[in-house]
Structure 1
Amino acid sequence: MAISTELPQTVNWQGKKVPVYPMQTIDFSRLLSHEPAEVEKLVRCCQTEGYFYLDLQGIDGRRMLDDQQETLRLMHRFFGSPLEVKNEYGLISPHLGYEPVGSRTGVLEDTKDGYEMIKVSRDEIQRDSPHIPRNIKNSPDIKVLENAIAGSNIITKAILSALSTGLGLTGAARFENSHRNHRPSTSTLAMMHYIPSDPVSDKNIGHQKHTDISSLTLLFSEQWGLQIRPPGAREFGFVAPKDGTAIVNVGDSLRFASGHTMQSCIHRVVPLDPTEHRYSIAYFLRAEDDTMFTDSEGRYITAGQWHDEKFFAFIAAPEVQAQAPSSMLLGGMKEEETIVTEAPKEAPSSAVAVDGMKKTAVDVY
């Protein structure tokens, strides 16, 4: 689906009307059956936009929605713990551990990020004694994490399989054959808590712009805050939360594996309501560590190398990020020149106004 030339629905944010971009919806049950029309729709979404809603309300997907609610309850308990307890876990590796608020660059100039995050890798949760924070290390909590990771892995693998079928890939060339369960990878469940923040006065704001390292990202969030910049669009716009669905976006590794024919989604997170605690759950399906592909700089590298290089670019100081090639944070995706367009006369009654946004060289999530 091409980007619409019509003005989409808007919300008031930062003193102006900001678009709410539409998304296609893919039915998970139909995808499992590889129904031709749904597979074709999926391929088109990934090649033209790089994102879509995934409807999980059918019998095949409802358990994943229940797993999300269980994970949210675990997150509330973990993030409500004293900082010293959370810091005991620490950052074990780029894809495992706890990152406190302010670990990365923020979405605005001269700010740090406005979220804390706990990450549990798929490889780690399968160990006999996984490295898990002590305040959520009892058997029921580990089972919640196992279910969330297993369910998310099944969903994203099903999407990969449908994409392979839709593109006519066979044998070792099928995408899922570089994402085998028994091979080491950095596939990770990331649980994020965004603190209340006011762009006018606070110094910890949102999540900077980027594309994901992953092949596919499966995101659950019931609250506003996610913004995307579709291919060809000249400004960021919000993604509306939609009941019974997850948001799926293409990441760098799948874009590279597809010969750069798929679109890696440029996105960021901003505080729509400055008084709100925001929670989101993301599963990053990543290729096996030793998978080879050609990145946007023309280098033939492994998925593991790309993951580590991009992670350290994320946590680098703004002046260091500015020296890195744009292909690192944005996966080689190009941004159109930002322009100011005339806003429509009316916004939805649910719109929320926020003031004080500044543009920076790294202001995408």
Structure 2
Amino acid sequence: MTDAPETVEWQGRQVPVWPMRTIDYSRLLSQDPSEVDKVVKACLEEGYFQLDLDNIDGRRVLEDREEVLKLMYRFFEAPLEAKNEYGLIDSHLGYEPVGNRTGAFGAGTKDGYEMLKVSRDEIQQGSPRVPSPIKNSGDLRILERAIGGCNTVTKVILSALSTGMGLTGKDRFENSHRNDRPSTTTLSMMHYLPAVKTGQDKIGHQKHTDISSLTLLFSDQWGLQIRPPGECGAREMGFVRPKPGCAFVHVGDSLRFASGMKFQSCIHRVVPFNPTEHRYSIAYFLRAEDDTMFQDSEGRWVTAKEWHDQKFKAFTDPPVWQALAPKSMILGGMKEDGADDPEPVAPFVPAVAKETLVQG
């Protein structure tokens, strides 16, 4: 799965479009042995795959995604004061304005997105802290259905991985992801603004691995880049082609640690493919119970909550501090080889904006 038969032009050069295995959700739900084997191989060898939800078992999740998108359009058009009513309540909960983290191209850049995060625990308990533009019964039902559906899908994947790895009883992965135990599981809604609005210092989403056990990611727009793992480290950053009716699934740090480093964790970032467009994505981050213990790639024993908080702090630290952190923090211990961008990346200024600047 590491050959890239396809390329796409981006910033004046040809960039790989990396292939992904496609897993059929209906067959996985039925614990079809061949599909279970396929998803285990995807996690052992790549750390990511496409999940085909365009079937009787997954179509409701796709419909919920459409309703969440409508909610996002309305929410992100609201005044900043309303969106930021609570601010960032906790690292997995609340609103983050544009520019809180390092951008896609390292030191000197900030992220180019705003994000709203809704806690699964709070939705389940019926007391979610969400900003007033969407704090109404209709929108809360949309969020509840979406979180419930995503939770079911990711638990089905976890169960299949447990079975495929021969785990039994308390050792099964899903037994550290019980619904009634506190966790930082969250639904994150991201709005990437056009480069003409953010300027050249607020671009994309920095390279990282996810804190989660599994990430279920919905986006119909180009922009996600991954670095496939290899014997000598990860390969060149390349795009992933969005596939209708599918979601991206990434293995995160917690599941990699829980597998004894057998599973790969997906190195990825988000860049402006079309710098003139508004880009929207929805990510469900399934995370282990807060008190779950695992050994990280530095050999430390940490709880899932400790790992989450430490890594989130690293995300928001200045690049000079990130450089001082253990290598395992941003990339979860995954190895790399070579530069992210073999050639310098040109400024993301749309042609119309360039003409305006020249005239000015």
Normalised to the residue count of structure 2, the TM-score between the two structures is 0.92
Secondary structure at 2:150 match in 1: helix
Deviation at 1:14, TM superposition (A): 2.0
Using the alignment, how far apart are the partners of 1:139 and 1:278 within structure 2? 27
Say if 2:118 and 2:128, in contact at 8 Å, map to a contact too. no
- 1:228 aligned partner, one-letter code: I
- Decide whether aligned partners of structure 1 residues 127 and 201 sit closer, same or farther in structure 2, where only a CA change above 3 A counts: closer
Which gives a bigger RCO, structure 1 or 2 (Cα 8 Å, sep 6+)?
1
Say if 1:199 and 1:355, in contact at 8 Å, map to a contact too. no
> Which one of the candidate residues 167, 170, 189 is aligned to 2:168?
170
Using the alignment, how far apart are the partners of 2:339 and 2:63 within structure 1? 40
- Report Cα offsets for 1:328-355 as digits up to 9, x if no partner: 000000002249889xxxxxxxxxxx83
- Report Cα offsets for 1:118-154 as digits up to 9, x if no partner: 0001001122332111110110100000011000000
Q: Which runs of 5+ in 1 are unaligned?
A: 343-353, 358-365
1:8-87 matches, within 5 Å, as 8-87=5-84
- Decide whether aligned partners of structure 1 residues 158 and 17 sit closer, same or farther in structure 2, where only a CA change above 3 A counts: same
- Name whichever of 8-17 and 218-227 sits farther off: 8-17
Give every structure 1 segment of 4 or more consecutive aligned residues whose post-TM-superposition deviation is greater than 2 Å: 198-201, 337-342, 354-357
Using the alignment, how far apart are the partners of 1:220 and 1:340 within structure 2? 25
| Match status 1:319 vs 2:320 | yes
Secondary structure at 2:291 match in 1: coil
Using the alignment, how far apart are the partners of 1:136 and 1:281 within structure 2? 16
User: Which residue number corresponds to residue 282 of structure 1?
Assistant: 283
Deviation at 1:203, TM superposition (A): 1.2
- Report Cα offsets for 1:283-315 as digits up to 9, x if no partner: 000000000100010001101100000000000
1:125-164 matches, within 5 Å, as 125-164=123-162
User: Which residue number corresponds to residue 109 of structure 2?
Assistant: 111
Say if 2:237 and 2:341, in contact at 8 Å, map to a contact too. no
Deviation at 1:16, TM superposition (A): 1.1
Deviation at 1:356, TM superposition (A): 3.8
- 1:308 aligned partner, one-letter code: D
Say if 2:51 and 2:249, in contact at 8 Å, map to a contact too. yes
Using the alignment, how far apart are the partners of 2:198 and 2:159 within structure 1? 46
Deviation at 1:224, TM superposition (A): 0.4
Deviation at 1:88, TM superposition (A): 1.1
- 1:36 aligned partner, one-letter code: P
Using the alignment, how far apart are the partners of 2:341 and 2:18 within structure 1? 16
Using the alignment, how far apart are the partners of 1:314 and 1:75 within structure 2? 24
Secondary structure at 1:89 match in 2: coil
- Decide whether aligned partners of structure 1 residues 324 and 199 sit closer, same or farther in structure 2, where only a CA change above 3 A counts: farther
- Decide whether aligned partners of structure 1 residues 146 and 199 sit closer, same or farther in structure 2, where only a CA change above 3 A counts: closer
Using the alignment, how far apart are the partners of 2:342 and 2:188 within structure 1? 36
Secondary structure at 2:306 match in 1: helix
Using the alignment, how far apart are the partners of 2:213 and 2:47 within structure 1? 11
Say if 1:198 and 1:205, in contact at 8 Å, map to a contact too. no
User: Which residue number corresponds to residue 235 of structure 2?
Assistant: 234
| Match status 1:301 vs 2:269 | no
Secondary structure at 1:259 match in 2: coil
Deviation at 1:201, TM superposition (A): 5.6
Identity %: 69
- Decide whether aligned partners of structure 1 residues 201 and 190 sit closer, same or farther in structure 2, where only a CA change above 3 A counts: closer
- Report Cα offsets for 1:188-215 as digits up to 9, x if no partner: 0000000001699621100000000000
Say if 1:227 and 1:238, in contact at 8 Å, map to a contact too. yes
Using the alignment, how far apart are the partners of 2:44 and 2:213 within structure 1? 13
Using the alignment, how far apart are the partners of 1:89 and 1:305 within structure 2? 23
Deviation at 1:180, TM superposition (A): 0.3
Using the alignment, how far apart are the partners of 1:146 and 1:355 within structure 2? 41
| Match status 1:355 vs 2:346 | yes
Say if 1:10 and 1:19, in contact at 8 Å, map to a contact too. yes
User: Which residue number corresponds to residue 196 of structure 1?
Assistant: 194
- Report Cα offsets for 1:168-203 as digits up to 9, x if no partner: 100000000000000000000000000001699621
User: Which residue number corresponds to residue 207 of structure 1?
Assistant: 205
The CA RMSD over aligned residues, in Å, is 1.7
Using the alignment, how far apart are the partners of 1:176 and 1:270 within structure 2? 33
Secondary structure at 2:108 match in 1: coil
Say if 1:25 and 1:54, in contact at 8 Å, map to a contact too. yes
| Match status 1:253 vs 2:254 | yes
User: Which residue number corresponds to residue 346 of structure 1?
Assistant: none
